[in-house]
Amino acid sequence: MKMEAHHPIVWFARRIVSGVVVVWAAATFTFLIQCVLPGDRAQIIINVTSGNVGPASSAELAAINAKYGFDQPIAVQYGKYILGIVHGDLGESYQQHRPVAGIIAEQIGPTIVLSVTALLFAWIIAILTTLFIAGRDNIWAKLLNDTQVFFATAPPYWLATILLVVFALKLRILPVIGGSSPIGLILPTLALALELSGFFGQVVQNEFTRVLEQPFVTSARARGMSDFGVRLRHVLRHAALPGITLSGWALGKLLSGAILIEVVFARQGLGGVLVAATSSRDVPIVSGAVLISAGLFVLVSLIVDLTYRVVDPRIKLT
């Protein structure tokens, strides 16, 4: 069965298998996490649900243990858990008594909208600033570059709080609670995009400064192309490849950032749910989110690689 190792189908199949392996390993990880949870899970479920503090009766504990299957051997629990995941069942929230898959499905939409808009914004900001500063050595370029580094470093939730106070509360240009309206998306998106644009900008700028020194740029200039024209054409072309990779890489950063930003703006989304779940030890929700994001990551990196293939067919697939 020695097929060509770089044959697209073989490549694709291998990618799928390794993706499944990653998700399976993440599932195993989240399962183990649930098992090592210190304290009795049934006790936590009872007290979190009723708001009680102190030990529950053994009858109550037994009922919960039976309901969630905590009284079964670990191996059986593990088997059931994996089987459930295969069927799209991520378990039931300890606190909300609803399927985790449903809870996450309900909340992930706004988070994805926020992340994708922020990604776009980040690229727009990064490309615009690069067009302006790359290869230039005046004070404005320096200032802009420093600003970029500042945004890449400053804590995003802190920037978000400042944006909220300045633009929504003091200047009243934008709403405090945006809800799902496009205008309400501006501040959270900006808060999330600024940080990312700093990262993107720095990378693209390095690339681009190198490109500007290449002979074909000089020849383009010699042909009478305007400086701006040269910049625009080559920035876009040379930003494309690192752009795809960076966008894939940014997924994790975006999700992490979105959690914080959503909390600052009290927005609907995974952030609020996860923070509540973390402080009430609602492990199935946190585990579910981990699994989903691992799945997303696998999917996105597959898309990135495929796009690479399309953009530049010479790329060797691994």
Binding part of the chain for other proteins, among 122-130, 223-231, 289-297, 304-312 by CB under 8 A, reads 289-297
Does residue number 260 form part of the binding site for other proteins (CB under 8 A)?
Answer: yes
- Which parts of 126-155 interact with other proteins (CB under 8 A)? 149-150, 152-155
Based on CB atoms, which residue is closest to other proteins, 82 or 236? 82
For other proteins, which residue of 128, 176, 217, 225 counts as binding (CB under 8 A)?
Answer: 176
Going by C-beta distance under 8 Å and a sequence separation of 6 or more, which residues neighbour residue 244?
A: 304, 307, 308, 311
Based on CB atoms, which residue is closest to other proteins, 52 or 219? 52
Does residue number 82 form part of the binding site for other proteins (CB under 8 A)?
Answer: no
Least separation in angstroms between residue 137's CB and other proteins is 14
- Which parts of 201-220 interact with other proteins (CB under 8 A)? none
Q: Where are any strands of DSSP class E within the chain? A: none
Based on CB atoms, which residue is closest to other proteins, 138 or 279? 279
Going by C-beta distance under 8 Å and a sequence separation of 6 or more, which residues neighbour residue 20?
A: none
Least separation in angstroms between residue 269's CB and other proteins is 7
Based on CB atoms, which residue is closest to other proteins, 282 or 305? 282
- Which parts of 218-257 interact with other proteins (CB under 8 A)? 251-253, 255-257
Q: Please tell me the total number of residues recorded for the chain in this structure.
A: 318
For other proteins, which residue of 20, 66, 74, 165 counts as binding (CB under 8 A)?
Answer: 165
Q: What is the rounded CA–CA span in Å between residue 20 and residue 23?
A: 5
Does residue number 98 form part of the binding site for other proteins (CB under 8 A)?
Answer: yes
Binding mask of the shown chain, residues 53 to 72, with x at each position contacting other proteins by CB under 8 A:
xxx-------x---------
Least separation in angstroms between residue 24's CB and other proteins is 9
Least separation in angstroms between residue 122's CB and other proteins is 16
